[in-house]
Amino acid sequence: MANKKMIAMTLILGLVALATGCSDSTTAPVTTPDTAPPTPAGNVSIAYVDGVATLSWDIEAVDADLAGYVVTREHNGATVVLLEAPTLVTTVEDATTELGTSIYHVYAVDTTGNESAPSTTQLLLTGSHADDNLAD
């Protein structure tokens, strides 16, 4: 009877060793891909002086893998990319503004390419009577 217990115990220990892996295992650790977006830019604001819109924002949290920011402008259904490659800056100038409403989006992007939700602000440019050429 003791022999059967010894064989059963050896068999169980062998199965446990197989299930948990041996200490000399060469299996590489499994890494989880980064799918988490960085923290969005905060306090996005815009100033308009002498025909140039200056967009600025705060870095809300420094994510260890933050690559930078991408900035776009929407106007009349068309999107213009003002800062295409993720760049670690907190201001962008736009000297190509047009009359009407422009919506600016700032996206935080990490080194894996994950993009945050956009931080958004708007600029409304209207014409004045001084801009019109009136006939005499």
Across the range 27-55, mean pLDDT stands at: 90
DSSP conformation letters of the chain: -HHHHHHHHHHHHHHHHHHH--TT--PPPP-----PPPPPPEEEEEEEETTEEEEEEE--S--TTEEEEEEEEEETTEEEEEEEEEE--SEEEE----SEEEEEEEEEEETT--BPPPEEEEEEE---GGGS----
Does residue 80 lie in a domain region? yes
For 48-99, what is each residue's pLDDT tens digit?
999 999 999 998 777 888 999 999 999 999 999 999 999 999 999 999 999 9
Confidence of residue 42 (pLDDT cuts 50, 70, 90): very high
Does residue 113 lie in a domain region? yes
Q: How many domains does the chain have?
A: 1
> Percentage of residues in the chain with pLDDT exceeding 70?
74
Does residue 83 lie in a domain region? yes
**Is pLDDT of 8 > 70?**
no
Range of the domain at 87: 42-126
**pTM metric for this prediction:** 0.71
* CATH number of the domain residue 91 falls in: 2.60.40.10
**Is pLDDT of 118 > 90?**
yes
Does residue 111 lie in a domain region? yes
